[in-house]
Amino acid sequence: MGRRKKMVERVKALMSNPDMIRNIGIVAHIDHGKTTLSDNLLAGAGMISQDLAGRQLFMDSDEEEQERGITIDSANVSMVHEYDNNEYLINLIDTPGHVDFGGDVTRAMRAVDGAVVVIDAVEGTMPQTETVLRQALKEHVRPVLFINKVDRLINELQEGGQEMQMRLGKLIDLVNKLIKGMNEERYKAGWKVDAAGGTVAFGSALYNWAISVPMMQKTGVSFNDVYEYCRNEDMKTLAEKCPLHEAVNDMVIRHLPSPIEAQEGRVGAIWHGDKTSEIGKSMKDADANGDIAFMVTDIAMDPHAGEVATGRLFSGSLTRGMEVNVSGTTVKNRIQQVGVFMGPERLEVEKIPAGNIAAVTGLKDAIVGSTVTTLEDMMPFESIQHASEPVVTVA
């Protein structure tokens, strides 16, 4: 079986098992390294070539893919990562850090259950760090922290080992202060980030290494070793011993919730309908046999397939040919294709169960923010609002 076929089989098997799925976003202040991190995660997981990471060009050894010239232009990618001898599917929703920043982050946060908050170790928390964190908490999206550009502390600022540790400790405290100030209840419920607990990783997305307390235990590489590798300009060895994707993806899998774990809390925050109704229960349980509850978070133009609506499926299973209602309209739409992401590519499948990020065609009346359902009368999801806009109180 070719490499691509094997990957197709793996992705198909994993998407049918929501316990093995993590839907995440990477959020950061502009220039803190979100793009470099995302590309290197994908390359590390073998979804794009190592050499091309950072150049946003997807290439595979598979000839057909080379011919089709598939490039990363989609807002959604996925990767398969092995943790504790099990494979997981990590769906990564992109949150572009450009002018239109607020709205994009807001949409992405609706689709995911967890967020990797990236901070530049030198610059520290910045206004957009606060905005994205606030948005994540508002959408009941759990954060973990990645402190990036640690190489700069050593090689540019010439900090000593202790000085560096103190700075990193202060950064973690700052982030926790933000979390506590924004949502004390969740902070107390364990959403605080904590290096010893494994919810913080440090590293260099540019030089492809990262470390966390669990990673130190796994590899035997200590903080002092990290310091020495950087000082001696041997980050290549460090990247071999402590690959970025392993530290970050291990953290994601271990500490960010699966859709099954996350949906109960998330549905409470983004849907104001009757939680004891059939659809309320089905969404809380991510029930693949329930009615469809799909929230559209992105619409993109595909040269072959036309308009592709991507979003989060909270309940039911999407299949080809299914008739659905789109909130705010009275006509029915018929779903044509259903797909999930494999690397940056959209992979057509027969059926997608609840808990996944799904990409569908045929929803000609949907807009970003639409609720799509098989029910005749469903309370739509809370409209997507940017955190700086007035916040609607959750019932």
Sign of the alpha-carbon dihedral angle for 193, 194, 197, 200? positive
Q: Is 236 left (phi over 0), alpha (psi -120 to 50) or beta?
A: alpha
Using the minimum distance from each CB to ligand GDP, give the nearer residue, 239 or 286.
Answer: 239
Q: Binding to ligand GDP by residue 148, rule CB under 6 A?
A: yes
Which 36-55 positions form the footprint of ligand GDP (CB under 6 A)? Answer: 36
Which 206-235 positions form the footprint of ligand GDP (CB under 6 A)? Answer: 206
Using the minimum distance from each CB to ligand GDP, give the nearer residue, 34 or 107.
Answer: 34
Residue 300 phi, psi (nearest 5): -125, 155
Using the minimum distance from each CB to ligand GDP, give the nearer residue, 35 or 370.
Answer: 35
Evaluate whether 212 touches 247 at the Cβ level (below 8 Å).
yes
Q: Binding to ligand GDP by residue 149, rule CB under 6 A?
A: yes
**Stretch of residues binding ligand GDP (CB under 6 A), selected from 172-180, 191-199, 201-209, 365-373:** 201-209
For the bound state, the minimum distance from the C-beta of residue 36 to ligand GDP, rounded and expressed in Å, comes to 3
Evaluate whether 267 touches 394 at the Cβ level (below 8 Å).
no
Could you give the string, one character per residue 86-105, with x where binding to ligand GDP holds by CB under 6 A and - elsewhere? -----------x--------
Evaluate whether 25 touches 92 at the Cβ level (below 8 Å).
yes
End-to-end CA distance of the chain: 52
Using the minimum distance from each CB to ligand GDP, give the nearer residue, 32 or 140.
Answer: 32
Using the minimum distance from each CB to ligand GDP, give the nearer residue, 131 or 204.
Answer: 204
Q: Binding to ligand GDP by residue 157, rule CB under 6 A?
A: no
Q: Which residue from 76, 128, 129, 204 is in contact with ligand GDP, where contact means CB under 6 A? A: 204
Using the minimum distance from each CB to ligand GDP, give the nearer residue, 33 or 198.
Answer: 33
For the bound state, the minimum distance from the C-beta of residue 206 to ligand GDP, rounded and expressed in Å, comes to 3
Q: What is the 3-state secondary structure (H, E, C) of the chain?
A: CCHHHHHHHHHHHHHCCHHHEEEEEEEECCCCCHHHHHHHHHHHCCCCCHHHCCCCCCCCCCHHHHHHCCCCCCCEEEEEEEECCEEEEEEEECCCCCCCHHHHHHHHHHHCCEEEEEEECCCCCCHHHHHHHHHHHHCCCEEEEEEECHHHHHHCCCCCHHHHHHHHHHHHHHHHHHHHHHCHHHHHHHHCCCCCCCCEEEEECCCCEEECHHHHHHHCCCHHHHHHHHHCCCHHHHHHHCEHHHHHHHHHHHHCCCHHHHHHHHHHHHCCCCCCCHHHHHHHCCCCCCCCEEEEEEEEEECCCEEEEEEEEEECEEECCCEEEECCCCCEEECCCEEEEEECEEEEECEEECCCEEEECCCCCCCCCCEEECCCCCCCCCCCCCCCCCCCCCC
Q: Binding to ligand GDP by residue 371, rule CB under 6 A?
A: no
Q: Binding to ligand GDP by residue 266, rule CB under 6 A?
A: no
Kindly determine how many residues on this chain lie close enough to bind ligand GDP according to the rule CB under 6 A: 16
Using the minimum distance from each CB to ligand GDP, give the nearer residue, 54 or 161.
Answer: 54
Locus of tokens 């803190």: 32
**Stretch of residues binding ligand GDP (CB under 6 A), selected from 23-31, 67-75, 82-90, 293-301:** 23-31
Using the minimum distance from each CB to ligand GDP, give the nearer residue, 238 or 286.
Answer: 238
For the bound state, the minimum distance from the C-beta of residue 26 to ligand GDP, rounded and expressed in Å, comes to 9
Q: Binding to ligand GDP by residue 28, rule CB under 6 A?
A: yes
Using the minimum distance from each CB to ligand GDP, give the nearer residue, 21 or 26.
Answer: 26
For the bound state, the minimum distance from the C-beta of residue 306 to ligand GDP, rounded and expressed in Å, comes to 29
Q: Binding to ligand GDP by residue 33, rule CB under 6 A?
A: yes
For the bound state, the minimum distance from the C-beta of residue 37 to ligand GDP, rounded and expressed in Å, comes to 7
**Stretch of residues binding ligand GDP (CB under 6 A), selected from 146-154, 333-341, 369-377, 387-395:** 146-154
**Stretch of residues binding ligand GDP (CB under 6 A), selected from 3-11, 26-34, 333-341, 378-386:** 26-34
For the bound state, the minimum distance from the C-beta of residue 359 to ligand GDP, rounded and expressed in Å, comes to 23
Q: Which residues bind ligand GDP (CB under 6 A)?
A: 28, 30-36, 97, 148-149, 151-152, 204-206
